[in-house]
Chain A
Amino acid sequence: MSIIEGSVTIKGLVKFYGQHMALDGVDLDVPAGCCMVLLGPSGCGKSTLLKTINRLLPYDKGSIYLGQLPIEAFNPTELRRSMGYGIQGVGLFPHYTVAENIGIVPHLLKWSKARIDMRTEALMQLTELPVNYLAKYPKELSGGEAQRVGVARALAADPPILLMDEPFGAVDPLTREKLQTAFIDIQKQLKKTVLFVTHDVDEAARIGERIAIMQSGKVLKDAKPEAYLDKSLDPFIYRFLGREFPLSLLSRYTLNDFVAWAIKSHVIAAGTVANDGLQSLKSVLATMLTHEDTTYSMAVAKGSTESVSFESFRAFILEVTK
């Protein structure tokens, strides 16, 4: 049983660094089980905000509540043990094996060895790492593998809240995409409250259940990703997200999502299953655009194909982003 509840409520948070105002009255409400992405340019205060939540940094005014209790109600060390924390450099302990790294917080919480071992193995499965990696040392791991261990380590004590500070920033784009996919799957299974800091718009569009855009220490907007398609956006947000943002949103959906909708809307026959259903709609669009008559032929069971037109594709997009 965790000592904290899963929801985070921040009101009027102010923090000064000398004369400079790092946080300028932040209001943010993260319900339990929600993956909230903190998106913004460098220096906007998103990392600072994250660090005030687990008391790594003090703040000057305002309040942070976890459920019904303010964070001051807890001893800082205990508080941090109830929250998973992932950072960009991962910070795996080089003198510990993967197993010892993952098991460190449970060890601090005085779990029994049997319980820790079981939990570690379950986490290796969850993060899709082979079990024989448990005896390896961090220097033997690739960047992506190390980051997966970092995620496993953050989840080890089964905390209700995860704080992630640009965790996938230090790897190449291909690995980053794989890590994001893995993270999305894990979040679907575990439904943790996640605060995820990033400056990468595509990453935010893929991962976030809600996106909070920050600038100069303030939260400008906090909404579902689809809401950012609204034409009447603040010009800064519009410029920051970029004109290609609608395409970034496409990577939230897979071909399977489209097929499910198409079947319901009687565009294709019931029971159709696409072979390559997990690919993102962004790549489906790319294929469509290079196809002669802008239809998409998907390979389905028994070697046959089904074609869908661009219009039905577009209808799906409009429907989903309403």
Chain B
Amino acid sequence: MKIWRTCICFTLALILWVFFYDELVQVMQQWLPIRGKLLMRTPLYELAFQHMLLAGLTTAMSLITALTMAVMVRISSNPELESSLLSLATMGQSLPSAVIIALAVPVLGYGNGPVALALYLYGILPILRNAIAGFRMLPSAVVQAAKGMGMSGIQSLWYVDLPLIWPLVVAGLRTALVVNISAATIGATVGAGGLGVPIMAGIRTRDFILLFQGSGAVLLMALWADSLLNTWQHRRSY
């Protein structure tokens, strides 16, 4: 299947990049501009792993929060709840991450904390919007049948509603994760780890190779995550 093949390609490309970038640079030495010998304190693959954890865990938290909010909207009889939660989530996305980071540093200190907060807030909206839309699109006969045959509210959510909206939720998760992978690079400005480190270092020292090291990895990681979630999303179509 095409989707699977793309995913495997990107997995291989990412692995090759983060493990063998230095070798690649050596091979290309003669065509590249002369630069001083710059060594990274942390190897690229370790930075890539930190980056994955940073983006992955925060987006997972966004998933849990967004799903909880969507279920709350579904269960409640209050029509206002949906618009207020959506507004909150929209704020999380429209506030520039740089602002969130700047405001969070006095509270959370330097390091991964501020950027983790920014990523978490950012990821909620796409998932929440998709989950709410998914609940609305459930066929009414299915919902009626589930209730009429004796499923409690929780059983209905577990056996019927959530499995049926899952492809849509994964689509939202995909959007959130891909954006968060690139957004996580900003954290390096306040001491976070991850692939933002070589990027920031490259910007400061005007070293294109270093910059490319980081941004190439970010690009490949984003494409990889996207294709991975794409395969998950398309596993079942009803």
Contact = CB atoms under 8 A, between A and B. Distances in A.
Interface stretch (B4-12, B83-91, B148-156, B180-188): B148-156
Contacts of A78: 150
Interface string A75-111: 0011111100101111111110000000011001000
B145 A91 contact: yes
A267 B76 CA distance: 70
A153 interface: yes
B142 interface: yes
Contact of A80 (B150, B164, B236): B150
A77 B148 CA distance: 8
B146 interface: yes
Interface in B142-201: 142-152, 155, 159-160, 163-164
Contact of B142 (A82, A88, A94, A163): A94
A274 to B, nearest CB: 41
Contacts of A104: 149, 159
Q: Which of A78, A80, A105, A163 has the most chain B CB atoms closer than 10 A to its own CB?
A: A80
Contact of A90 (B141, B150, B151, B236): B141
A93 B233 CA distance: 19
Contacts of B146: 91, 93
B236 to A, nearest CB: 7
A79 B238 contact: no
B164 A91 contact: no
A57 to B, nearest CB: 11
Contact of B155 (A56, A92, A108): A108
B238 A87 contact: no
B106 interface: no
Contact of B141 (A87, A105, A108, A153): A87
B139 interface: yes
Interface string A135-156: 0010100000000000001100
Q: Which of A82, A90, A91, A94 has the most chain B CB atoms closer than 10 A to its own CB?
A: A91
Interface residues of B, number: 21
B116 to A, nearest CB: 34
Contacts of B145: 85, 87, 90-93
B152 A77 contact: yes
Nearest to A163: B148
A56 B159 CA distance: 19
A77 B151 contact: yes
Nearest to B166: A95
A295 interface: no
A12 B155 CA distance: 34
A82 B151 CA distance: 12
A88 B141 contact: yes
Contact of A91 (B142, B152, B155, B238): B142
Q: Which of A77, A90, A139, A154 has the most chain B CB atoms closer than 10 A to its own CB?
A: A77
A302 B30 CA distance: 100
B141 A81 contact: no
A91 B156 CA distance: 13
B139 A89 contact: yes
Nearest to A81: B150
Contact of B149 (A94, A105, A139): A105
Interface in A104-121: 104-105, 108
Contacts of B143: 91
Nearest to A88: B141
A54 interface: yes
Contacts of A91: 139, 141-146
B163 A95 contact: yes
Interface of B: 139-152, 155, 159-160, 163-164, 236, 238
Given A89-B140, A91-B146, A94-B142, 20 more contacts: A54-B148, A79-B150, A80-B147, A81-B150, A85-B145, A85-B148, A90-B141, A91-B141, A91-B142, A91-B143, A93-B142, A93-B146, A93-B164, A94-B164, A95-B163, A95-B236, A105-B149, A108-B150, A137-B238, A154-B149
Closest 5 CB pairs of A and B: A91-B145, A89-B141, A81-B150, A80-B150, A91-B141
Interface of A: 54, 56, 77-82, 85, 87-95, 104-105, 108, 137, 139, 153-154, 163
24 contacts: A77-B151, A77-B152, A78-B150, A79-B150, A80-B148, A81-B149, A85-B148, A85-B149, A87-B144, A87-B148, A88-B141, A89-B140, A91-B139, A91-B141, A91-B144, A91-B145, A91-B146, A92-B145, A93-B164, A94-B238, A95-B164, A104-B149, A105-B149, A139-B238
